[in-house]
A and B are shown apart, each in its own frame.
Chain A
C-alpha cells in the first residue's frame, strides 16, 4: 500500500523509517496479530543509510565490550546469517584480515584478539607476514602481519532490506511510502505529508532523523552528528585481487579504510569518516576520492588499474555516545531506536527482537506469534547461480535468456519480476538495487535506456 489515502482507524504499531532497522522491526511485528504500519518519507524502502554502506556482516569482535551494540551485533550476525540462507540473501563468509602496516599496528593485534574474546568471539588469532602474503598475494609491500578474523563476511545490503519489507508486507503490514512524519500530536497522531496517521504504539527508526522525531515527542536525549563515508566500487575484474575483507587496524582516528569483495562480484574501497553538518550530504568529494585512492594504492596496488564502476557515500547516524541509543518510554508507548551507526545492517534482526521486547514491556500485548510466510528473494550474488546461466530457467521462461544489462548479466525476466514484486521499485535506481541492472562497469552506456524503458512501461 504505497499510495492512496491513509486509514482512519489507529494502527497498533507505527514504525517510522523503512531502512534496514525499521523494516526488520516491522517484520518482527508481523509475526503477531497486530495492525502494523511501516512508514517512510522516501518513495522506496532502504533509501537512507541502508542503501549506502560497506555491507560487512560483522562478528562484533571489535565492539566496545559490554555495550548494547556489542550484544546486538553478536546476536544479529547469528540471526541474519540463518535468515539469509532461508530468504536467499547472498552472503559470502570470506573472513577478515586486519592488516598491520607498521610496528605499532602489529603490537596492537594481541590486544584486539583479547578484546574479541571479551566480546565472546574466540576465533581471532594473529598471523605472520608469510602466511598473510600467501593468503593475499596482491597485498602491497610492507605488510607485517595480520589478525585473522574468520567469522566476518559480506552480505547484500539491498536484498536484506527488501527481504524484511517483502515478508512484512506479505504478512499484512501496511507499507506507507512517500509519507514523511512532520509532527506528532498527543495521542500519537502523526501528521504526515499524506495525512494523519494514528498509532497506539510508536517506534522511531528514523535513522539520521531519529533525534528530530524524538524531540517531537519531547525528548532531548541525543543529537545525530552525521559521519560521512565515501566509497569507491571497482569493476568485477578486481575481484580476483582480493580474497578476504582487508580491514585496517583501528586507531584513535577511527576504523580506517578497508578493501573488501562485495557479494555482487566487485571490490569496495572505503569508507572515509568525515563529520558533516548536513544530513543530506551524501555526495562524494575530490578530496575524499583522492584520499581513498592513496589508501587503496598502499593496500592492493593493482586495484587502481581497474575501472571504477561506482562512487557513493553514506551517512552514519553517529551521536555523542559510543553506543546505540535505544530507549523505551513506556508512559508514552514509544520506543526510540537511535544512533544505529556503523553496524546496523548486521544487528538489524537483533535490534528488532529487542524493540519488540521493549514494546511488550511498555504494555503492548502482541498476542500469539505465528510463522511468517516464507520469502525467497531473487539472487543478486555472484557466488550463487543466476538465471542467465540456468538452462532450465530459460527453457521454462525465455525472458530469463534475454540479457538486458550486459555487464551484470541481468535478464528481462528478472527485471519484469522485480517490477511486479510485492515491494516494487520507484525509480531505475530502485530497480538496480533489486536486480543489479545498471550496476556494472558501463553504468548504462549499453543498457541504461533499455532498462529505463522497461521501468517506464511497468508504471
Chain B
C-alpha cells in the first residue's frame, strides 16, 4: 500500500491564484498548507511565492498531481517518487492555457514556427530560444496579444501584423509601427519544414498572404481542468471550468476552485486577489461551521453571452462576472428565474469578448432555491 501523507489544505497550482490562496490561508492559521506545482521554475510569479512561503505555506515545485486516489486524496509524481497526499480541503488553481492552432481548426500545413503566447514567452524568457525573424500575432484579447508583441520585439523579431477577428484597432499602449488587421480571420498556414506565411481573410472577403516564419496564437483561454474533471467536479457549460458558487465551492465536498481555472485568462494581480478570497470559505469549511451546500440553483448565460461566474448559487457574496461571445453595443443585461425578473441593467459601453462585465449580486437573495436555473441574457 502506498503510504498517505496528510495536510490540512492542499493547493494545486502555484500560479497567482494558488499562491494568493496559500499565503492567505497560511496567514489565517489554516494549519498545514501545501502548494504543489508541476513546473520546476516559477518564472514571473516568484514574488508571490516568496509571500506564500513567508506566511508559512509549503511550496513544492516539480511535483505533478496525476490523479485522485480517493476523496480529497491525490497521487503525485516527482523525482522523489510517487506520493499520495490527503487533505481536509483541496483548492484547485490549475490555471488556463491558450487554445492552440489545431484546436482553433486553422487549416494548412504543420510547419515549425507555430506557437501560443505562453510557449513564446517560455521560449524567449526561460530558454532564450530563436523564435524566427518575422512574426504574425493572432488574437482577440488585447492584453494577450500585446504581451506577445512585446515578447517578440524584445527577442528582436519583427512583428509583421496583428490579426484579430474583433473590431478593435489597437491593443493599447505599444510603441512602434504595428499594422492591426481587425475583422480578419486566419484561414490557413503555409510552408513545409518552417512556416512561410499565413493566409488571412478580411471582413470584406478579400484574401491575402502575410509572409512570416512565426505565428503566435494568443488568448482564447481554456481552463486547465483535467484534475477537476477526473475528480468528478461538475463543469459549467459556458466556461468549461468547474462550476462554483460565490464561495468557490465546486460540486465535490471539500474541493474549491479559483483563478483562471474558472474562466480563462485573468490578470495576475486580479487572480492573486481572487485567490485570497477563497481563504475565508476554506476556513469556514474546515471549522465545520459551513456544511457543504447541495447542488444549488445553476446560473447560466444565454447566447450571445458566453459565460457567467459564479455559476451556482450558494452562500458567499461578491459579484458576478459576465462575458460576451461577440461584441455587443450598449446591451441591456437581464437576470431572471422562471420568468421572474431579478435584475435589469443597461451597460453604457460596448461589451467585448475579451473583458468581463461585473454584475452586482444583490438579486441573489431573491432567488427561489427550489426554482429553475437563473438565466442571464441580453435584450
Contacts and interface: CB of A to CB of B under 8 A. Distances in A.
Contacts of A448: 115, 119, 122-123
Question: Which applies to chain A's interface (DSSP): helix, strand, loop or mixed?
Answer: mixed
B187 interface: yes
A399 B129 CA distance: 23
Contacts of B99: 307
A312 B101 CA distance: 12
A409 B66 contact: yes
A363 interface: no
Interface stretch (A74-82, A96-104, A204-212, A276-284): A276-284
A449 B115 CA distance: 10
Contact of A388 (B77, B97, B119, B187): B77
B373 to A, nearest CB: 19
Interface in A266-296: 280, 282-286, 288-289
Interface residues of B, number: 43
B105 A311 contact: yes
Interface in B69-107: 77-82, 97-103, 105, 107
B177 interface: no
B371 to A, nearest CB: 27
Contacts, number: 120
Question: Which applies to chain B's interface (DSSP): helix, strand, loop or mixed?
Answer: mixed
A444 B116 contact: yes
Nearest to B191: A283
Nearest to B224: A442
B62 interface: yes
B66 A388 contact: yes
Interface in A419-459: 427-429, 441-446, 448-450, 452-453, 456
A403 B64 contact: yes
Interface in B50-72: 62, 64, 66
A373 interface: no
A443 B107 contact: no
Range of interface residues on chain A? 35 or more
Contact of A395 (B81, B126, B127, B226): B81
A193 B98 CA distance: 41
A309 B38 CA distance: 21
B123 A406 contact: no
Contacts of A406: 38, 64
A319 B237 CA distance: 48
A283 B79 contact: no
A449 B101 contact: no
B105 A308 contact: yes
Sorted nearest first, the 3 A-B pairs with minimum C-beta distance are A443-B100, A398-B79, A449-B123
Interface of A: 233, 237, 280, 282-286, 288-289, 307-312, 388-389, 391, 394-395, 398-399, 401-403, 406-407, 409, 427-429, 441-446, 448-450, 452-453, 456
Interface of B: 2, 38-40, 62, 64, 66, 77-82, 97-103, 105, 107-110, 112, 115-116, 118-119, 122-123, 126-127, 129, 187-189, 192, 222, 224, 226, 229
